Amino acid sequence: MQVGERRTDFLVENKISVELKAQIKLESVHLAQGKNYLEAFNLEVGLLINFGANSLEWKRLYNNKFKEAK
Residue 2 banded pLDDT, cuts 50, 70, 90: low
Stretch (H or E) spanning 47: strand 45-50
pTM of the predicted protein model? 0.83
Q: List, for residues 10-67, the tens digit of each pLDDT value.
A: 999 999 999 999 999 999 999 999 999 999 889 999 999 999 999 999 999 999 999 9
C-alpha 19/C-alpha 48 separation (Å) is: 5
At 21 the pLDDT is: 96
Q: How far, in Å, CA of 17 to CA of 34, rounded? A: 8
CB-facing half-sphere around the CA of 30: CA atoms within 13 A:
18
